[in-house]
């Protein structure tokens, strides 16, 4: 099991030197311009469409996915409603990436598709392990969709690695159902650690540790105080960073760590140019005990998100199976993407597309791991590394993977064929001038520059998605492959820009 950890960061990590990049600047500018024009044209039409079907509130769908390697089942657990909708209000019925599963919302009366979202799950990852051949297990998951004005039919589907549907369940939701639980302020303090410049200066926290409650000229009484005043939910992607393993007394450290996370994310492209399209809110869920749960050391801590190392018996795979609990920590905070920051200096983490990211705060590779895992959960990027001894076929040859940064060459024209340099052979041989990242001297600027340069040469390099054969990556090195390099490859960069455009379409 060791070192066979899907959806987890690179096995290989450490350091990063400097190298500026021109390729994605050009791509960024072009795409930003296109987005701007699209926004202007579509603004009025899309807003109308959202308002026809939805109110400015969130319907939280709690499910249990259960089964074994042979059969999988989907169960509805509970419906919840909370104020405000933080997700996109446009391109509602579009599917941007396939993911390994999908939530489809139809208007009950007309059966018109009015909202779609895709995702991956820890459950589907578990199905690949031997344990799934021996025992039935249940995994929690939750999805937010905009709250409907009229009855809707919600269909949840799970697909296998051939992208065939293996489980499906449809249920009707009547917005007038009295058993839809109302959720909201849970008393957990939160604080915006990043918001675009145009909104800054007018976003107080709900119960901030660093702002005066009284006598500051602000009225914090329940009726007058709006913690979200000035927050642009529609034009921005809402990231929530949740504290895990921080005691009440350590919340100053948590806010500081969140700031480091924000700095790490926006330090390099493409997020640097996109940072005004993000809000980042820090949710200070207090832990009864400091630090994480580490099963292989016999350490079990009572922490808010219930996370632990040793997921699927891989020591560095840090994840939680308590997704409902994590969503509960966020009730009252409109969000789209969850990052759980674990108060630990031990290497670990994990990221699942449109579900959750886990990262530790104090490991030397904190920045690199955080950005890498966010690449998984936010943009659906696959790992670009391979294992020599991987016996599971994650990406079968008869199927083009849905992840934008890997290919089986089944349908390469849908991937980065348009970004290939002329006469670049397929597969592309490794450039022998690029140093081996496992042996490179990190204090040698020349060697590190050569390594970083390799991230920007597009090709079709064999070895990706944990497979050394039959799966290909777009660059010799990339942030989705190793932690030693600074940048995403141009293909990952484009994928991040495109999905950001999609999420912020108005
Ligand atoms: Zn890449």
Confidence of residue 212 (pLDDT cuts 50, 70, 90): very low
Compute the distance from residue 329 Cα to the ligand 1 centre, in Å: 33
Read off the pLDDT of each residue in 164-171 and give the average, rounded to a whole number: 98
- In eight-state DSSP terms, residue 122 is H
Query: What percentage of residues in the chain have a pLDDT greater than 90?
Result: 79
Name the more confident of 213 and 450: 450
Compute the distance from residue 27 Cα to the ligand 1 centre, in Å: 15
Q: Which residues surround ligand 1, an ion (CB under 5 A)?
A: 405, 478, 480, 489, 492
Compute the distance from residue 453 Cα to the ligand 1 centre, in Å: 13
Count CB atoms within 10 A of the CB of residue 212: 11
What are 16-73's pLDDT values in tens digits?
Answer: 222 233 344 444 445 555 554 444 444 445 556 899 999 999 999 999 999 999 999 9
Compute the distance from residue 197 Cα to the ligand 1 centre, in Å: 29
> Encoding tokens for residue 206?
């709900």
pLDDT of residue 79: 98
Compute the distance from residue 23 Cα to the ligand 1 centre, in Å: 13
What are 126-140's pLDDT values in tens digits?
Answer: 999 999 999 999 999
Compute the distance from residue 475 Cα to the ligand 1 centre, in Å: 6
Compute the distance from residue 477 Cα to the ligand 1 centre, in Å: 7
Give the least confident one: 12-21, 113-122, 305-314, 431-440: 12-21
Compute the distance from residue 441 Cα to the ligand 1 centre, in Å: 23
Say how far apart CA 182 and CA 55 lie, in whole Å.
15
Confidence of residue 455 (pLDDT cuts 50, 70, 90): very high
195 CA to centre of own chain: 18
Compute the distance from residue 375 Cα to the ligand 1 centre, in Å: 9
Compute the distance from residue 1 Cα to the ligand 1 centre, in Å: 25
Compute the distance from residue 264 Cα to the ligand 1 centre, in Å: 18
Compute the distance from residue 458 Cα to the ligand 1 centre, in Å: 9
Please compute Rg for the chain using Cα positions. 22
Compute the distance from residue 45 Cα to the ligand 1 centre, in Å: 35
- pLDDT value at 467 more than 80: yes
Name the more confident of 43 and 145: 145
Compute the distance from residue 24 Cα to the ligand 1 centre, in Å: 12
Compute the distance from residue 130 Cα to the ligand 1 centre, in Å: 30
Compute the distance from residue 494 Cα to the ligand 1 centre, in Å: 9
Do the beta carbons of residue 309 and residue 316 sit within 8 Å? yes
Query: pTM of the predicted model, to two decimals?
Result: 0.86
Q: The tokens 């699942």 sit on which residue?
A: 352
> Encoding tokens for residue 224?
């007058």
pLDDT of residue 205: 45
3-class state of residue 323 by DSSP:
helix
Do the beta carbons of residue 100 and residue 6 sit within 8 Å? no
Compute the distance from residue 26 Cα to the ligand 1 centre, in Å: 17
Confidence of residue 506 (pLDDT cuts 50, 70, 90): confident
Helix 366-379 vs helix 490-503: crossing angle, to nearest 10: 60
Read off the pLDDT of each residue in 318-342 and give the average, rounded to a whole number: 97
Compute the distance from residue 279 Cα to the ligand 1 centre, in Å: 25
Compute the distance from residue 37 Cα to the ligand 1 centre, in Å: 28
Give the least confident one: 30-39, 226-235, 238-247, 276-285: 30-39
Compute the distance from residue 230 Cα to the ligand 1 centre, in Å: 35
Read off the pLDDT of each residue in 201-211 and give the average, rounded to a whole number: 44
Compute the distance from residue 491 Cα to the ligand 1 centre, in Å: 6
Structural element, H or E, at residue 35: helix 23-53
- pLDDT value at 77 more than 90: yes
Beta strands in 353-503, from DSSP E residues, in sequence order: 356-360, 386-387, 458-464, 466-475
Q: The tokens 């002329």 sit on which residue?
A: 422
């Amino acid at each position: 099991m060791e070192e066979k950890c899907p959806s987890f960061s690179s096995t290989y990590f450490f350091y990063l030197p400097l190298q500026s990049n021109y390729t994605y600047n050009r791509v960024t500018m072009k795409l930003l311009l296109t987005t701007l024009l699209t926004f202007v044209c579509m603004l009025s039409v899309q807003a109308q469409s959202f308002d026809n079907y939805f109110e400015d509130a969130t319907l939280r769908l709690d499910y249990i996915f259960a089964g074994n390697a042979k059969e999988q089942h989907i169960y509805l657990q509970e419906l919840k409603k909370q104020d405000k909708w933080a997700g996109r209000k446009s391109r509602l019925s579009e599917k941007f990436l396939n993911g390994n599963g999908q939530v489809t919302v139809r208007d009950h009366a007309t059966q018109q598709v009015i909202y779609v979202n895709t995702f991956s799950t820890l459950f589907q990852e578990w199905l690949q392990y031997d344990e799934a051949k021996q025992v039935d297990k249940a995994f929690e998951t939750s999805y937010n969709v905009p709250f409907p004005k009229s009855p809707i039919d919600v269909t949840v589907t799970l697909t296998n690695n051939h992208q065939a549907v293996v489980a499906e369940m449809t249920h009707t939701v009547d917005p007038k159902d009295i058993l839809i639980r109302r959720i909201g302020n849970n008393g957990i303090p939160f604080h915006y650690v990043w918001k675009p410049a145009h909104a800054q200066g007018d976003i107080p926290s709900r119960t901030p540790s660093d702002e005066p409650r009284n006598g500051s000229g602000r009225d914090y009484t329940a009726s007058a105080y709006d913690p979200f005043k000035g927050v642009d939910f529609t034009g921005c992607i809402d990231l929530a960073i949740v504290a895990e393993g921080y005691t009440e007394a350590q919340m100053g450290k948590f806010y500081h760590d969140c700031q480091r996370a924000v700095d790490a994310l926006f330090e390099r492209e493409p997020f640097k140019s996109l940072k005004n399209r993000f809000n980042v809110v820090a949710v200070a869920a207090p832990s009864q005990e400091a630090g994480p749960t580490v099963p292989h050391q016999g350490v079990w801590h009572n922490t808010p998100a219930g996370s632990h190392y040793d997921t699927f018996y891989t020591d560095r795979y840090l994840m939680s199976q308590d997704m409902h609990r994590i969503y509960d920590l966020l009730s009252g905070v409109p969000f789209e993407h969850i990052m759980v920051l674990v108060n630990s200096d031990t290497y670990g983490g994990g990221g699942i597309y449109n579900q959750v990211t886990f990262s530790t705060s104090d490991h030397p590779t904190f920045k690199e791991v955080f950005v890498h895992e966010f690449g998984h959960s936010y943009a659906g990027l696959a790992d670009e590394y391979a294992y020599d001894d991987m016996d599971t076929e994650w990406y079968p040859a008869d199927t083009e993977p849905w992840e934008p940064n890997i290919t089986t060459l089944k349908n390469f024209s849908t991937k980065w064929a348009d970004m290939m340099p002329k006469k670049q052979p397929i597969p592309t041989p490794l450039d022998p001038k690029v140093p081996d990242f496992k042996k490179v001297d990190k204090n040698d600027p020349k060697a590190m520059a050569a390594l970083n340069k390799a991230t920007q040469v597009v090709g079709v390099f064999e070895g990706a998605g944990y497979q050394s054969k039959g799966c290909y990556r777009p660059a010799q090195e990339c942030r989705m492959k190793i932690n030693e390099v600074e940048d995403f490859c141009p293909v990952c960069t484009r994928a991040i820009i495109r999905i950001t455009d999609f999420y912020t379409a108005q």
